[in-house]
Amino acid sequence: MTATYDAGDATFGRVREILCNLLMLVEAEVQPGTLLVQDLNLDSLGFVELEFSLEETFGIKFPDVKLSPEVFALPLAESLAAIEAMPGGTTLFEFMKGEVIAVVATRPPGELALASDAAPDALLRAATVADLATAVGGRVPPGLDGSALLTSLHVAELFRFVSAGVMARYVDRLVAARAGGGPS
Amino acid sequence: MDLRGKTFLVTGGSRGIGRAVTLRLARAGADVVVAYRQNTAAARAVCDAAAAAGAGRVEALVADVGKHADVAALCTRLRDGGRRLDGIVHSAAMGRFQPLLDVRPIDWDLAFRVNAHALLLLVREALGLLREGGAAVVALSSLGSERYVPFYGAIGASKAALESIVRSLAVELAPRGHRVNAVSAGFVDGETLRSFPQFEVLRDAAIQRTPANRLGTEDEVAAVVTFLCDEASRWINGQTLVVDGGLSLL
């Protein structure tokens, strides 16, 4: 199961402070499950500046150059595969894929037709929209069907699942990678 | 115009006015380095178009020019490649179209970082790369720097800051023989204008108010930028040239 953050976590606290400063919020408005798009009205330009602030604060680098419009035009599974094939580190989307796969992999074998096939891509194809929401500690964004397969979404819709908590966990991942203590 | 043997760095050079500048420089035979943030396909496409247009050498390098680390890496790569720059065109721009009262720090910071501060980062990091005795720096501004443009609050303020930076750099770099100018474009037909809220209303009003009775084109702005890159403009320094078909006169 994936890691979670409580409001007292150091990384989450710094991420929350940045969000509060950039968006003129009070701390109570930013909880680990707060969705950045739905709850904080963050859009693609907002993500650009948020990531800049996180990079400056934590000394990390978001490998967003991998997320070109060409990649965004592909179906979700193909898009993620294309991103993974590129060098340059783990994007937020790849990180979220890892999180949801970890959730799906914990299901009792009887629940999965793919019990005999635990390959990451097979697990991704078995994941639902609700699985991703669970994995990132948020909730299913409005207008989406939690029971739908995750691969039915467009890759850009993954932004809607990004919570303050998962952003903090992703930052931890990038910090660990920079320090050589984990996968990049 | 003959810019053969000269090299220019164009930020935001893969799209919009920056793309038009890249192609203008290419047609004059210059070598062009296009800095782009994320759109690899667009960067690749403009490189192909520039090569076909006659550029001496053209390459695209990824960089968010609002980030010091990216700008430093970009300049290191140019330095390691033995490149010298005859000019820098700062065309990259970002910002959200919204009323000023809706602007949050996240919107303000983005506009100022990419539109204004980036020029200072670029010039400072590239100073050792500028060809001695006569490099040209040109920044893309807009009428929103000094006039009210709907939904342009933070971007307009950042463009005003950009023009101020241009003036200061012009004075400080003049002893080295370098010139720094800005081009302030009026309403230009293109992707940026079409992304405005209420685009049609804004477009129609702009056309009605412009003595030329039409929008400008990206290439018309690029032509002035290219002129400022050329030796023919050597006595123009620290200026913001308005390119708007006369709109700002009324």
Per-residue pLDDT tens for B6-54? 999 999 999 999 999 999 999 999 999 999 998 888 999 999 999 999 8
Asked if ipTM goes beyond 0.90, one says no
Residue A147 is predicted with a pLDDT of 94
- Euclidean distance between CA atoms A182 and B84, whole angstroms: 39
Backbone φ and ψ of B118, nearest 5°: -60, -35
* pLDDT tier, A103 (very low <50, low <70, confident <90, very high otherwise): confident
Q: What is the pLDDT of residue A64?
A: 83
Residue B9 contacts residue B58 (beta carbons within 8 Å): no
Please count the other Cβ atoms lying within 10 Å of the Cβ belonging to residue B52. 11
Mean pLDDT, range A89-118, rounded to an integer: 77
What residues have CB less than 8 Å from B212, skipping those under 6 apart? B245, B246
- What pLDDT is attached to residue A179? 79
What residues of B are in contact with residue A21 (Cβ under 8 Å)?
A: 105
Read off φ and ψ for residue B110, nearest 5 degrees: -60, -50
Task: Name the closest residue on chain A to residue B67, using Cα atoms.
Answer: A52
Sheet holding B136-142, edge to edge: B58-62, B31-36, B7-11, B87-90, B136-142, B179-185, B240-243
CA distance B225 to B17: 10
Alpha carbon of residue B140 to chain centroid: 4
* CB–CB contact B105 A43 (8 Å): no
Residue A80 near residue A124 (C-beta atoms within 8 A): yes
Judged by average pLDDT, the poorest of B17-26, B156-165, B186-195 is B186-195
Catalytic, B152? Answer yes
- What DSSP character marks residue A121? H
Q: Assess whether B159 carries a catalytic annotation.
A: yes
Token pair listed for B56: 């001496």
The reply to whether the predicted model has a pTM over 0.95 is no
Residues of B in contact with A45 (CB under 8 A): 94-96, 107, 110
Contact B235, B137 (CB under 8 A): no
Note whether B113 contacts A: Cβ–Cβ < 8 A: yes
C-alpha A84/C-alpha A71 separation (Å) is: 11
Least confident of A23-32, A67-76, B41-50, B228-237: A67-76
Beta bridge partners of B242: B184
Instruction: Give the one of B41, B95, B107 whose C-beta lies nearest to A70's C-beta.
Output: B41
CA A103 to chain centre: 13
- b vs e for B109-122, b when ≥16 Cβ sit within 10 Å of the residue's Cβ? bbbbbbbbbbbbbb
Nearest CA to B230 out of B75, B87, B31 is that of B87
Three-state DSSP class for B237? coil
Lowest mean pLDDT among A75-84, A175-184, B210-219: A175-184
pLDDT, residue A1, reads 45
Interface test with A, best of B106, B107, B114, B115 (most A CBs within 10 A): B106
DSSP E strand boundaries for A26-164? none
Q: Enumerate residues 9 to 38 of chain B having a beta carbon within 8 A of any beta carbon in chain A.
A: 37-38
Residues of A in contact with B113 (CB under 8 A): 49, 52
The amino acid that residue A83 corresponds to is I
